[in-house]
């Protein structure tokens, strides 16, 4: 992932230095367990830990791999250069490369999930704050992009909060699902290594032993992890699209913060473009790009092949780094977002009173008018509002059929905005539990 869309902590999770450190820990902990079983001498297991503070030389490992054409063997050779050839001769005893690679990958994905969960907490905190701030700020709800009925800006933020809260729960489950390790040897039978070694390594790394591995950890776990990242990315886009809509010149109910010295266009000095949320829309596509390859990785030949390996080397870092950046950018956008309540009311009144059409319709049916006739009575007046920008209430008061059914006071009573906000507290209690 390019540095423009990357944050240091998540980048560090996927660095070669981090990877080789985890590889070392897997091998060293395995040696400890082997020594406890009496499979290897204790002094050899102890000797491996001489490298616990070593900064493994990435260039040297690459140099060895250029000859061996095998990354794990290159690392083990380099480890022996630090520990000593004789002392390191029992390292990797009974293990296969996937024991190291897969367990390491899952450790990295767990670390990545923890950072992503922190990012989600920032987004949730920002959405909650803005939801309560604008709990009663009226705006028109839209369906198909067309004015529907009144809602509040607080409810808009609250529904995004609820969506992201579900996503946090999904990510916690995905983190749990991916937190397994395998040290089961060739084809996963433990023929050359005792299951207790796997248990010890996993315990030390904060993982659970994979109940049954072949020569790899089952890739349905990884597919679920990346699918979850894809859903979170789609929710980010969902929020970004709403903000982009609100920032349109014709709408202008909300906007990204525009900082001092910021320029919107190289050609038109007046422009204030929603560049951050447009960027989030694009980043969401990059995260989702990993989902299908991750699902295609589930189907491997027999006990293993390596068709998944090259894919994961790319999508592991790219998807998590991109999503981490997107979550933190979104949190900042929501925190600083400008809200324009006056424009919300002005937009709602662009077609005066029209958003009350359903309430009038329901009142007519309750007054004894058939639904078909009631719909016709309301629609003929509503269409005049669309076409002539006249006041809907005044049109109804001038319609003898409507007045006969509801009376003038009955019509006027149907234009109380409080009718549409009376259950906001109930919804907030459901979302926030307070």
So which residues are the catalytic ones? 144, 265
Burial class (CB in 10 A: 0-12, 13-18, 19+), 61: buried
Distance CA(153)–CA(140), nearest Å, equals 9
Distance CA(414)–CA(355), nearest Å, equals 11
Strands (E), 245-315: 254-255
β-bridge pairing 338-339 and 254-255: antiparallel
Helix, coil or strand: residue 135:
coil
- Yes or no: say if 104 and 315 are a contact pair by the CB < 8 Å rule: no
Can you tell me which residue has the tokens 């032993």? 209
Cα–Cα–Cα angle for 131, 137, 141, rounded to 5 degrees: 90
Q: Which residues, including other chains, have CB under 8 Å from residue 151's CB and lie 6 or more apart?
A: 138, 139, 140, 141, 420
**Six-digit token pair at 359?**
């309430």
- Yes or no: say if 12 and 53 are a contact pair by the CB < 8 Å rule: no
Helix, coil or strand: residue 213:
coil
- Yes or no: say if 213 and 230 are a contact pair by the CB < 8 Å rule: no
């Amino acid at each position: 992932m390019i540095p423009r869309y990357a944050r240091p902590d998540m980048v560090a999770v996927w660095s070669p230095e981090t990877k080789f450190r985890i590889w070392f820990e897997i091998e060293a902990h395995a040696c400890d367990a082997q020594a406890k079983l009496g499979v290897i001498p204790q002094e050899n297991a102890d000797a491996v830990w001489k490298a616990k503070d070593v900064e493994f030389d990435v260039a040297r490992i690459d140099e060895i791999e250029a000859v061996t054409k095998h990354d794990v063997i290159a690392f083990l050779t380099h480890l022996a250069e630090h520990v000593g050839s004789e002392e390191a001769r029992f390292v990797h005893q009974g293990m296969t490369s996937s024991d190291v690679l897969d367990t390491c990958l899952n450790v990295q994905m767990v670390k990545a999930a923890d950072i992503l969960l922190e990012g989600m907490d920032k987004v949730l905190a920002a959405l909650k704050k803005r939801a309560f701030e604008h709990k009663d700020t009226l705006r028109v709800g839209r369906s198909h992009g067309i004015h529907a009925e009144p809602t509040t800006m607080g409810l808009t933020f609250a529904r995004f909060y609820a969506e992201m809260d579900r996503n946090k729960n999904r990510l916690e489950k995905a983190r749990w699902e991916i937190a397994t390790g395998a040290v089961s040897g060739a084809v996963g039978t433990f023929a050359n290594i005792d299951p207790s070694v796997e248990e010890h390594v996993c315990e030390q790394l904060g993982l659970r032993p994979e109940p049954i591995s072949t020569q790899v950890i089952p890739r349905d776990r990884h597919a679920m992890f990346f699918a979850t990242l894809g859903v979170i990315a789609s929710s980010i886009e969902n929020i970004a699209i709403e903000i982009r809509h609100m920032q349109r010149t014709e709408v202008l109910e909300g906007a990204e913060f525009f900082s001092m010295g910021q320029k919107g266009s190289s050609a038109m000095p007046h422009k204030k473009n929603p560049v951050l949320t447009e960027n989030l829309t694009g980043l969401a596509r990059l995260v989702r790009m990993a989902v299908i390859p991750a699902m295609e990785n589930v189907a491997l030949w027999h006990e293993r092949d390596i068709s998944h390996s090259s894919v994961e080397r790319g999508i592991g870092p790219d998807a998590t780094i991109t999503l981490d950046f997107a979550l933190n950018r979104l949190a900042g956008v929501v925190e600083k977002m400008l809200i324009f309540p006056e424009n919300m009311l002005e937009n709602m009144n662009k077609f005066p009173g029209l958003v009350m059409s359903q309430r009038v319709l329901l009142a007519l049916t309750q007054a004894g008018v058939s639904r078909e006739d009631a719909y016709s009575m309301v629609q003929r007046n509503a269409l005049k509002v669309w076409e002539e920008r006249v006041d809907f209430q005044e049109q109804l008061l001038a319609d003898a059929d409507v007045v006969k059914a509801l009376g003038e006071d009955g019509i006027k009573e149907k234009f109380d905005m409080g009718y549409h906000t009376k259950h906001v507290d109930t919804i907030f209690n459901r979302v926030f539990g307070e």
